[in-house]
Amino acid sequence: MACSFLCKLWPPMETVRRFRSPYSRTRTAPLVLLFLLLFGSGGGGGGVLQAVAASTDTILPGEGISGNQILVSKNGEFELGFFSPGSGIHYFLGVRLSKLGENSPTFWIGDRIAVTVTDLPGVALELFGDSLYIKDAGASLWWSTVAGNGSSSGAAVAVLLDTGDLVVRDKGNFSQVLWRSFDCPGDSLLPGGRLGLDAATGTNVSLTFRSFSHNGTLRIDASRRNGFVLTTDGLDNRGAFPDWMMTSQDNGNSLVLNNSDAPNSTEFLQFYLGQVSLMRWNRTTAAWVPLWTFPSDCKNGSFFCGDFGACTTGGKCQCVDGFTPSYPMEWEHGYFVTGCSRSLPLSCETNGQTEHDDSFTMVDKLQGLPYNAQDEPVATAEDCRVACLNKCYCVAYSYESGCKLWYHNLYNLSSADRPPYSKIYLRLGSKLKSQRGLATTWIVLLVVGSLVLVVTCAILAVVLLCRYRRDLFASSKFEVEGSLIVYTYAQIKKATGNFSDKLGEGGFGSVFRGTLPGSTTVVAVKNLKGLGQAEKQFRTEVQTVGMIRHTNLVRLLGFCVKGNSRLLVYEYMSNGSLEAHIFSGKSGLLSWHVRYQVALDFGMAKLLGREFNSALTTVRGTMGYLAPEWIYGQPITKKADVYSFGIVLFEIISGRRTTERIKFGGHRYFPTYAAVQLNEGDVMCLLDSRLEGNANVTELDVTCRVACWCVQDEENDRPSMDQVVRMLEGVVEMEMPPIPASFQNLMEGDDSAIFFEEN
């Protein structure tokens, strides 16, 4: 079954940008797209074509659609027409999701040859005989579904199916498919689409990517389960699809993309520049988000960081000197393949000058040199530099074992962990050098000024601190600040029996049981450890938690400061902590109804908790409940508490500590197992086995979804606590949350995964 027949080539190719990113409403990525235009000869080829109504899904013999008309599937989900990838200059025949409009990716049909906007009114897609054709106003044949002119016998019909597949069927035998667009998928695949060999038709389907300087294919690897091979510029990268994504057919010779278990979900498989992703449309955020991506980091993917992006030894992408992310928001969400752009253009790009205008910066400690270098016959490193300067499109040079020049955007830049190292000299715009000199001057001034300011502030801080401590401890008796009591260290020591009755220990310090002097009031005393972190935590809790009165929050009664000691006095929880009720069972088993109310009350308490006015940078908390930004040293906002809340939700649901290793199939970490089972629609298996299935399934599903949304890797993907409460109350609808990338690594058996265990 042939995909297309080229009758005439379009004029020189134009660079356009096509929808690509999962994080933007109209994101695109560099593609050089060709398209084919064609004409059918049957029945007086230049005759008037009958227009197809926009509401129909079928093209009958002799009918068709013009350049400004569309064909709509019966379920209204898909539309066929000529669409522009964003520039509005070139149009291509393709299928897209009708409800998303400009937010939809376009699944191109044919060989992707462009139709200019001026030619669009005269272009038409027609059905003659058993073939589809595209023609222009001059009745020239450009593309067809078979190698030939077809016939005018009216033996076939074309239908846009509810799956987005455009098929040509025999009119006499409607079950016989003569041609289908799913056999020629381009670089994207819709659910129901096939990769590999179709035994019935003999068609071998693969995804392809093309640009000026790069070509790639994605094909299945029948030698391994759900295996595939990504080939980009001759480099192979092998991987495997998760079982939940693909269904194997024809003895493993083909794979079919599954429909999602999530109701009304919109998904597709995307292949671009050495990376394949399963994308899902998130109606809440109006953005495409990746459910699964391969490779998952730049160490395993040659083109992961895009143009002029470098992979660091830690597996992170960064732009090389003189470049910035082409799409900063995409980089913030971890989608780096769109690459980096020059901060300043090269001289010859603006005024035609070459020599002496541009400069070079050294990029060293590389793991090998980039691909596609051309040798230059010169004798010295200086001659090599001059040779590059004299060529407008030379972007970099290297002189190690001879002179090498690069004329295309650089990919595959990777920092080496150990020698041998390589280095290149990257060409920069002429103004950047002078800007650097100015920047250096400013940096020196800022550093000197900052030092003076820091010293002045330090002296002032010491003076104020001495005065503060003197005033604070001037009296050893009880003093009242607002509603908080200032205790002496001796009083706390006596109340706790010299800190003898220890209740527990966490990331902030230890908690002791005590009785206030002269009364029967039982209290819990938290002794903060680590002066640097404790001071910040102490100030935060005294200034904020101490001012809050809420039934769902333990009340702060007072505090104590002496030397390096920081102590907080709380109400004592006579019924024990949530931990005692969930894990030990000593306090009685909590029913599902009670657990659901606890989750909702916990969320409402979080709403009244402290709010961050600025990002924090100091790690605080119990390992295992910390968000990824704690671990990687990134700035911390209130979304870190949302992550911890999600982990607690998993524990409330399951009755087990998430920090413990588990053995459920291939899963060792419970949140990973929970995320997978949630996506597969089996939430009852996550419920505490001691409840014996006695739970409201709807509430359980809602709680599992909220928990999975809370533990997303990127803080921007997590809901706020206000949204969490509304989700738990059922006020707002939720999409099925994606499986976090960190969980995917655990699913794939990454032995470097970290398990937190408390001693």
- Which sequence spans correspond to the domains of the chain? 1-184, 204-290, 295-428, 479-571, 580-747
Listed in sequence order, the residues at least 6 apart from 388 whose beta carbon sits closer than 8 Å to its beta carbon are 360, 394, 396, 397, 405, 425, 427
Nearest Cα residue to 103 out of 25, 188, 17, 20: 25
* CA 716, 721, 722, 725 torsion-angle sign: positive
157 contacts 168 by C-beta, under 8 angstroms: yes
Q: For residue 704, what pLDDT is reported?
A: 94
Q: For residue 353, what pLDDT is reported?
A: 52
Q: For residue 264, what pLDDT is reported?
A: 62
List C-alpha distances in Å: 380 to 38, 146, 548: 55, 57, 73
Q: Which CATH architecture has domain 580-747?
A: Orthogonal Bundle (1.10)
Q: For residue 327, what pLDDT is reported?
A: 80
Q: Along the chain (759 residues), what's the average pLDDT of each consecutive run of 10 residues?
A: 44 32 35 29 35 67 86 91 76 87 78 71 84 80 61 72 91 84 88 87 84 78 88 82 86 81 74 82 81 80 79 85 84 78 78 64 87 89 92 90 90 82 88 54 81 88 72 40 76 88 79 82 77 60 68 79 82 77 72 84 52 41 68 77 89 83 72 87 89 90 93 90 88 88 68 42
143 contacts 37 by C-beta, under 8 angstroms: yes
Of the options 2.90.10.10, 2.30.110.10, 3.40.50.2030, 2.60.120.1570, the CATH number for the domain spanning 1-184: 2.90.10.10
Give me 399's structure tokens: 């002189």
Listed in sequence order, the residues at least 6 apart from 400 whose beta carbon sits closer than 8 Å to its beta carbon are 369, 422, 423
**Relative orientation angle of helices 697-710 and 592-607, to the nearest 10 degrees:** 40
Using alpha carbons only, what angle is made at residue 618 by residues 613 and 619, rounded to the nearest 5 degrees?
120
Of the options 3.10.105.10, 2.60.120.620, 3.30.200.20, 3.20.20.80, the CATH number for the domain spanning 479-571: 3.30.200.20
Q: For residue 635, what pLDDT is reported?
A: 77
Segment (H or E) for 178: strand 177-180
**Relative orientation angle of helices 721-728 and 639-654, to the nearest 10 degrees:** 30
141 contacts 7 by C-beta, under 8 angstroms: yes
Question: Full-prediction pTM beyond 0.75?
Answer: no
Q: For residue 746, what pLDDT is reported?
A: 67
Q: Tell me the C-alpha distance between 676 and 574, whole Å.
A: 38
Q: Tell me the C-alpha distance between 614 and 77, whole Å.
A: 44
Q: For residue 701, what pLDDT is reported?
A: 92
Q: Enumerate the active-site residues.
A: 601
Listed in sequence order, the residues at least 6 apart from 212 whose beta carbon sits closer than 8 Å to its beta carbon are 13, 15, 32, 408
Q: For residue 604, what pLDDT is reported?
A: 54
Q: For residue 3, what pLDDT is reported?
A: 64
Is 526 labelled a binding residue? yes
